[in-house]
A and B are shown apart, each in its own frame.
Chain A
Amino acid sequence: MPTEMLSPSVLAEDAGNRSLLNNVHPEGWVNPRPADKYNLVVLGGGYAGIITALEALKAGAKVALVERNLLGGVCLNAGCISSKAMIRTSRLYAEMRNAARYGAERPDNIHVDFRQVMERMRRVRSRVSRRRSASELKALGMDVFFGEARFTGPQAITVNGETLRFKRALIAAGARPAIPSIPGLEEAGYLTNETVFELNECPGNMVVIGGGPLGCELAQAFSRLGSHVSLVQDEPLFLGQEERDAAQILSESLARDGIDIHLNTQTLGVRTEGTHKLVDLISDGNKTTVHADTILIAAGRAPNVQGMNLEAADVDYSEESGIRINDFLQTSNPRIYAAGDVCLEHKFAHIEGASAHIVTQNALFFGRLRLSALIIPWCTYTDPEIAHVGMYVKEAREKEIAVKTLTVPMHDVDRAMAEAEEDGFVKIHIKEGTDRILGATVVARHAGELIGVISLAISTGVGLRRLAHVSFPYPTQAAAIKMACNAYRDRHQSRFRAWWVRKWLSW
């Protein structure tokens, strides 16, 4: 993993970052003397690593955690928390500009103090880092090491020349931004999620390459904070795996924010003229050039498998898909497990958290928990948000499962009307002829909050029939879920019941 990424040296100089650094990579930190043997050694102090280490520690295990750069990993330092804090401010500015939509008066001079936005974000990041700071972890009894970890055999690693022996190990080394091979890009320079949150000036013209979750979230946030943003996606729709309607609603929303949308477009190259970058694009044979002073690369993530001498521990991996694991999260060395972005297809913090529990149980307590049994929702925090859990319709149909979707537009939800948050829908996919929930997609201002209810229902085997009996407070946007249940009930009342009800009410 290149040391210039996610390292103390990339952090901008301000009070929030000084506080962050004190928590996630304290200056003058002295590594502890290694124990004779650890029950669990964790390589990587990102979300997956810390959660697993803490769970093992709580269970009474002797645990060592090794981090080469910043504790908290991408999620804390260069992803979830940072972007959400920025998005919050950007939403506020969008609402100010659209004040009339809420029956309010638009402020006269809407001025964005970008430095203030970023300083707030860094203060939030620093606060979140406190709970899992190096000193907190040490106080709980964890041996925290900063340095490069290398395997020296199937049951040992070295960190800064010290050997740590283990019964079990977890590799949670995370992932780094994948940089597409674009002629002229290196010379022109670019930002990634690991460096973009250290900006103190809002770019005038920004080109975002990649229309996945990160690219869409940041394109919208920067646009709302004052950048003129061009968003380039090589697929016909944003968020490649999400369903067509969700991606189309998002496209329209991004366009309304003033983003120049370039779908189905490849980047041919980048040229530099003075301080200007010229990004050459091609779409269906038509070439265009976009001016930029900042290029943000958001083209996916590549697993961090280098530098750990995995061969010495007999751990199989590939540069593209990362460490090979089985359904129990075991690597090819059964004593060594892997979790998080270094091995999983879906690179989300909460999946790392869920996989951490599997590792603790399987590695230390002879558990047989399976990755495939997890019900994992995810959410893209654009406005509106796009959240999904379970199967997509296409997946179900490919498996020859007859599927039906119960759709409730947010414009039919009273609270969404009151909030002027009517773009989107709740779609719950069920197995035809049953009330079993196969999956769901929610597009709504707070879709991430709504999807949890459906995730709970799937995880616990609750079907729409039972869910229909659950009371939701009125008025809430979650009522959309209840409305989907009611639509199911209305359509699927048994003939006998319908006959019986008619008969009963015939007096």
Chain B
Amino acid sequence: MAPAPRDEALLERFAVGAFRYFLENVNPENGLVTDTTRQGSPSSIAVVGFALSCYPVAVERGWMNRVEAMERTLRTLRFFWNSSQSEDVDATGYKGFYYHFLDPRTGRRAWNSELSLIDSAILLAGIMAAATYFSGEAEVRGLADALYRRMDWRWAQNGRETVCQGWKPEFGFLHYGWEGYSEATILYVLGLASPTYPLAADTYHAWTCTYQWENIYGHDVLYAGPLFVHQFSHIWIDFRKLRDRFMREKQSDYFENSRRATLIQRDYAKRNPREYQGYGADYWGFTACDGPGHGTPTTSRPGREFFSYAARGAPWGPDDGTIAPAAAFGSLPFAPEVSLSAIRNICERDTRIAESCRVPSGLNATANWMSEGYFGLDQGLMVLMIENYRSEFVWNLMRNCSYIRTGLERAGFAGGWLEVTDAH
């Protein structure tokens, strides 16, 4: 799995470039990291979860010293533990969960955002990564455990079979549920493993009932259009040969599934049914990303418009000619050959990207457009998935997190690293 020296150097450059995001866009007082580098950007709790997961990588790689990483982690955990938890419209969180966007200075709810279950789960995954890496530090361990114990997953279920997507103090639970395969596996695993308010045992099965196993372009796959769906939970969990009931039935696993989902993206780009510029075997990455913006008609295809930030997907779209360069980095562990080939094409040929060693959220060759600034989710995904590809470090770290193991077992997973007890 080790990359060739030339690729190793390329990946190191982009990993370092991506990690810089977390050094340059953090409030060192409370550990909150902004969602993007754009003026006035709030902090995203998911980006904070990514940051907490990246600090151990940075220590191991020598990009950050251990004391500094631990201090920053502690400040982040202390902030969340001491932050305001109530039904107030400007609290930081409620029932142990947190609002999607926070004011990076005050730490209070920003943009009238929702109390987000998936973003809270990603934050918690980061907290668990920190607690596992700094397991010798009692305060880190204690705060992480206390933060987990405060999250009321039963409440988040709101009496339904599956977990609600969010809640607002002005409105109550959001209408949206989780239908179909999504990035929520990490949410269910952590929700099921809760030491205080675990999700009901049958909730994971209820969610998987909405899965759709399809043959697309000759690949048998658990379908979801945007690539981030096939990547986010895999940051922390090595799904190779790890199977739940669904994957046992299909004689596959989620790792292999993400490989096939990546190949489908590539196949779609080769077909390029909407005739966008640039698309091809080494130019793909349809996922949640920034776009040129609404209301701008394309000149090449009348009747088509560009979208702004949207969860793009293949093969059913939305597709407006925009790709996310970070998506290929996110698929490195699953499909290294095709991902590296795309990375080389996208990142080495574009001098703006090659020189900065940082990737923008979106690129649109049809519109001759590149997203302004950088987005935290992209940079975190890159640091962590490059590392999993190079050394499997995050996966190996999280094997030592007992909650992940408990959650996977409660969801019915078996095989893979779960069978190798105490080996790491």
Contact = CB atoms under 8 A, between A and B. Distances in A.
B215 A406 contact: yes
A432 B213 CA distance: 10
Nearest to A287: B170
A487 B218 contact: yes
A30 B51 CA distance: 83
Contacts of A404: 213-215, 220
Contacts of A252: 317-318
Contacts of B271: 411-412
Contact of A405 (B180, B208, B214, B315): B214
Interface stretch (A166-174, A298-306, A308-316, A391-399): A391-399
B349 interface: no
Contact of A101 (B112, B180, B212, B302): B302
A413 to B, nearest CB: 11
Interface in B257-282: 271, 273
Interface string B281-310: 000000000000000000001111100000
A243 interface: yes
Contact of A422 (B175, B211, B273): B273
B315 A284 contact: no
A129 to B, nearest CB: 36
B183 interface: no
A425 B316 contact: yes
Contacts of B209: 394, 397-398
Interface in B197-218: 208-218
Interface string A394-435: 100110001111110101100001000010010100001000
Contacts of B317: 248-249, 252
B377 to A, nearest CB: 21
Interface residues of B, number: 37
Contacts of A243: 212
B302 A249 contact: no
B171 A284 contact: yes
A290 B213 CA distance: 40
Nearest to A491: B215
A101 B301 contact: yes
B8 interface: no
Given A252-B318, A407-B214, A244 B179 contact: yes
B216 A409 contact: yes
B318 A284 contact: no
B168 to A, nearest CB: 5
A98 interface: yes
Contacts of A409: 216-217, 273, 315-316
Nearest to A99: B302
A248 B215 contact: no
B114 interface: yes
A493 interface: no
B23 interface: no
Interface centre among B171, B210, B303, by most chain A C-beta atoms within 10 angstroms, is B303
B176 A264 contact: yes
B249 interface: yes
Contacts of A98: 302-303
A393 B302 contact: no
B174 interface: yes
Nearest to A416: B273
Nearest to B176: A236
Nearest to B294: A255
Contact of A286 (B112, B216, B302, B315): B112
A249 B319 CA distance: 11
A236 B175 contact: yes
B212 A411 contact: no
Interface centre among B114, B168, B175, by most chain A C-beta atoms within 10 angstroms, is B175
Main secondary structure of the interface of B (DSSP, over half): loop
Given A252-B318, A256-B304, A411 B214 contact: no
A409 B217 CA distance: 8
Contacts of A264: 174-176
B215 to A, nearest CB: 5
A95 to B, nearest CB: 10
B316 A405 contact: no
B168 A284 contact: yes
B249 A432 contact: yes
A252 B179 CA distance: 19
Interface string A225-248: 000000000111000000111001
B174 A256 contact: no
A425 B225 CA distance: 14
A235 B216 CA distance: 28
Interface in A204-237: 234-236
Contacts of B210: 394, 397
B315 A235 contact: no
Given A249-B317, A284-B114, A286-B112, A491 B176 contact: no
A28 interface: no
A100 interface: yes
A37 interface: no
A394 B212 CA distance: 8
A438 to B, nearest CB: 12
Contact of B214 (A100, A249, A256, A406): A406
A100 B301 CA distance: 8
B380 to A, nearest CB: 26
A101 B171 CA distance: 44
Contacts of A60: none
A403 B170 CA distance: 41
B112 A285 contact: yes
A248 B316 contact: yes
B261 to A, nearest CB: 13
A490 B220 CA distance: 12
Contacts of A235: 175
A264 B180 CA distance: 18
A311 B303 CA distance: 56
Contacts of B168: 284-285
A245 B249 CA distance: 23
Given A248-B317, A406-B214, A407-B223, 6 more contacts: A236-B176, A285-B112, A393-B212, A404-B220, A407-B215, A411-B273
Query: Which 9 A-B residue pairings sit nearest by Cβ, starting from the closest?
Result: A411-B273, A285-B171, A285-B170, A405-B214, A98-B303, A285-B168, A397-B209, A407-B214, A100-B302
21 contacts: A100-B301, A236-B175, A245-B223, A249-B316, A252-B317, A256-B304, A282-B171, A286-B112, A393-B211, A393-B212, A397-B208, A404-B214, A405-B213, A405-B214, A406-B215, A407-B214, A407-B216, A409-B316, A417-B273, A427-B214, A491-B215
